[in-house]
Amino acid sequence: MRYDTVIIGGGLAALLCGIELVRNGKSAAIVTTGHSTLHFSSGSFGLYNGAEPLKAVEALGEEHPYSKLGENIEQLAAKATEILNVAGVATIGDAEANHYIMTPTGALRQCWLSMEGMVTSKDGKSLDFSDALILCPEGFLDFYTQFVADSLRRLDVEVAEALFSLPELVIRRNNPTEMRSVAVARALDKEENILALASIISREAKATQTVIMPAVLGFERTDVLSRLEKITGKQILTVATLPPSVEGIKAERALRRTFERMGGVIFNGHTATEYTMDEGAVATITTSKGVTLAANDFVLASGSFIGGGLQALRSGVTEVLFGADVVAPEVTELTNRELFAAQPFMSAGIATDAQFKVMVAGQAVENLYGCGAVLAGYNPVKEGCGAGVAMFTALAVAEDIINR
């Protein structure tokens, strides 16, 4: 099988790159082992920490992936937002000024975009409601009401807490592993459960206009939150659960569907394990299921350690598929013993040239690009730029391929 471009990945970087290619008339296939780090998402997309992220990135050194994007970051941010929205991932926020999203631990994290319907704050010091009911399914394992309540109280919100159950959830509680976010969200997709939950909200939230729930409102359906708001007349907001994150999974599924609807092909459950070269360019890759794919261009969007693109061996950090050149601290320097300090391993990744072409043995491979978390030169946690780097480098790579 032959495509214009074959992308190795399956996360935010692979999907944005793939969508941009196919909607510009290129044929593209995504080869993916499976779940991406979107399954850990707090429902937010970080561009860079600081009140004004676009200004903050101007000061970055040349090793940072953003520095290879030149002055395009604002346009890339607009294009990334547009693609998310086209895919049905409704967002709030803009790149001019960060806002804050409440994470599962109750902490407020700066971000450029967040998924619509979540608890957010403009300035990190206040919310636009003064009292709220936190309503959580009884026996739910992925959400700690107390973290969220404590955080809301610090923001001067008067908080009440209540648990709820539904006949279907009572049955699920017989097996504690069933009380996880995806299973609960699937249950809440059912019309009879939406109506039952609406009655519970109306009963429990008599004294308040705002109800906060774990982000488990709808898995296949996108209208669960709006239906509940309509029926109850209350403002309903959500906070992401501990992983697996229903919001992140929904975003991944929506982007996948969009890529496929536009003509892209996904080889799901296929790990790229081998490749061949022809005159200094990649000719084919072969997957763990024995499928060989040829293409004019290849994109490595295989993520960092957690995604599977990088591995740390006793001998050092390596890129798994192509053995690309890696920029990384010595193995003994990969971690900082201070748990909350910036962890050096997070800035490890592959070396690329100015167009994100992957360096192997000191040479840029003409038709092999890298994008997303596999890249070196930035720390997604310390800088709050994981999603931004994934999406913007993916779009820059797609643009280079389209214009060639």
What is the contact surface with ligand FAD in residues (CB under 6 A)? 8-14, 31-34, 36-38, 40-42, 44-46, 271-272, 301-303, 306-309, 321, 372-373, 380, 386-387, 390
Q: How far is the CB of 274 from ligand FAD (least distance, A)?
A: 10
Instruction: Considering the complex, state which of residue 43 and residue 137 has its C-beta at the smaller distance from ligand FAD.
Output: 43
Closest distance to ligand FAD from the beta carbon of 372 (Å): 2
Closest to 348 (Cα-Cα) out of 315, 323, 380, 322 = 380
CB of 293 to ligand FAD, least distance (A): 11
Between 224 and 390, name the residue whose CB sits nearer to ligand FAD: 390
Provide, rounded to whole angstroms, the least separation between the CB of residue 287 and ligand FAD. 7
Of 137 and 248, nearer to ligand FAD (C-beta) is 248
Residue 34 CA, distance from chain mean position? 14
Q: CB-wise, 45 or 356, nearer to ligand FAD?
A: 45
Q: How far is the CB of 400 from ligand FAD (least distance, A)?
A: 17
Considering the complex, state which of residue 180 and residue 234 has its C-beta at the smaller distance from ligand FAD: 180
What minimum distance in Å lies between the beta carbon of 17 and ligand FAD?
9
Residue 264 or 309 having the CB closest to ligand FAD: 309
The distance of closest approach from Cβ of residue 199 to ligand FAD in the complex, given in angstroms and rounded to an integer, is 33
> For residues 18 and 201, which CB has a smaller minimum distance to ligand FAD in the complex?
18
Q: Which is nearer to ligand FAD, 66 or 208 (CB)?
A: 66
Least Å distance, CB 156 to ligand FAD, is 25
